[in-house]
Structure 1
């Protein structure tokens, strides 16, 4: 059986924690690997608490955010890497797309997860989606053999945004994270610059757990995370 390799790419360093920490922990617990990439630290637009400290600097905020995200990833058993491209706005150039594509070729992910394509309240999230979609196509040679190193086509999903109805998000996959939920909570607790989101995403996991129970009839499911597939999954039989 092929080893599962999950790559999660967020616009900011905390995005993976709120929206996919459970599935990261789930895959690693089942014997797979997971790597998290943050295109920026969210140092300008998502670190309000840190900027309340007198004499705060952007470089210090980045350092704190890096330490928080690395600690969160460690709770899950994942690798963490930051591109440090700046936020609000997140500006991604061709070299940055090439860098992500090269990372994909090296890591060979079987599953790639990022933000949805639409977000009317956050300018950085759609940029992250476009970056990942382009890098993924470059990595697979746009579906054909090519003259550069490639990786096999991966599953491609987006994680649940903060306001799903306004982002064109329709959940097509629920992942049961009940037995790794404590790890997700520990990861969320590391993101001290955004403590206000911890209760929201604990409640969201409970809501999606309820939906997953309705779908499956499995009363043991207490918490879940929601994702939307962007390409079909292929199975031998229904």
Structure 2
């Protein structure tokens, strides 16, 4: 039986930890191949603690953030890849876009997780969303690399932005991550450059867990919330 795959498209090296680390750990624990694609290291805009050292260089910051993300991915049970496209601003060439489409073709994910459509506080995030969705469409096109089979229609879910109300994002699915919470929190602790977010995202996990319990009648302590991009298809409610 072929191993199932999930793809996470993360704008910066830490985004996948805060926003989708539970999903990564949960599906990895089920034997899935979970692959994280980091478009940048978050070296300029999301590494303020490191930039307090006046002697540090851009390359040194990248190395620190890469090491943090690799360690976090290992804890969660995933593979991770870095495209080093820069941040603040994040920009890509058509070559990079086609490369992301090629990841879809080679990985053939069952589902994709990425950022919200809007984020007035961080334009790298919606751009990562755009890249993930455009690459998906390209990977479905029969005329794109016709020597490689096209993909189907993997559902795409948008993980929670830092300030959801301002990003026009709303939770449409709760994922119970209670069984893997300790792994997610352990991954938090690798992100020393953003230690101030550990407690914040712990509160988010507890809040979404309470909402998941209320909406299901189940005992759920920690959860992640996701917004659906495409309609879900089923043969029953």
TM-score category of the 2 structures, normalised to the smaller one: over 0.9
Give the corresponding residue for 1:31: 31
RMSD: 1.6
| Structure-2 separation of matches of 1:214 and 1:33 | 31
Give the corresponding residue for 2:41: 41
Q: Deviations over 1:99-129 (max 9, x none)?
A: 1111111111111111011011111111111
Aligned-pair CA distance for 1:92: 1.5
Give the corresponding residue for 1:211: 211
Give matches, 1:77-156, under 5 Å: 77-141=77-141, 147-149=146-148, 150-156=150-156
SS in 1 for 2:202: helix
Q: Deviations over 1:49-87 (max 9, x none)?
A: 111224101001101100000000000100000000000
Q: Deviations over 1:21-64 (max 9, x none)?
A: 00111111122120111100010111011112241010011011
Give the corresponding residue for 1:233: 232
Paired residues in the alignment total: 236
Q: 1:108 to 1:229 in 2, by over 3 A?
A: same
| Structure-1 separation of matches of 2:199 and 2:5 | 29
TM-score norm. by structure 2 comes to 0.95
Aligned-pair CA distance for 1:177: 0.3
Q: Deviations over 1:137-162 (max 9, x none)?
A: 111228x9983522222011110000
SS in 2 for 1:49: helix
Contact 1:172 1:229 in 2 (8 A): yes
Q: Displaced runs of 4+ in structure 1, greater than 6 A?
A: none
Give the corresponding residue for 1:64: 64
| Structure-2 separation of matches of 1:40 and 1:68 | 13
| Structure-2 separation of matches of 1:162 and 1:145 | 35
Query: Is there any run of 5+ residues in structure 1 with no aligned partner, and where?
Result: none
Contact 1:116 1:159 in 2 (8 A): yes
TM-score norm. by structure 1 comes to 0.95
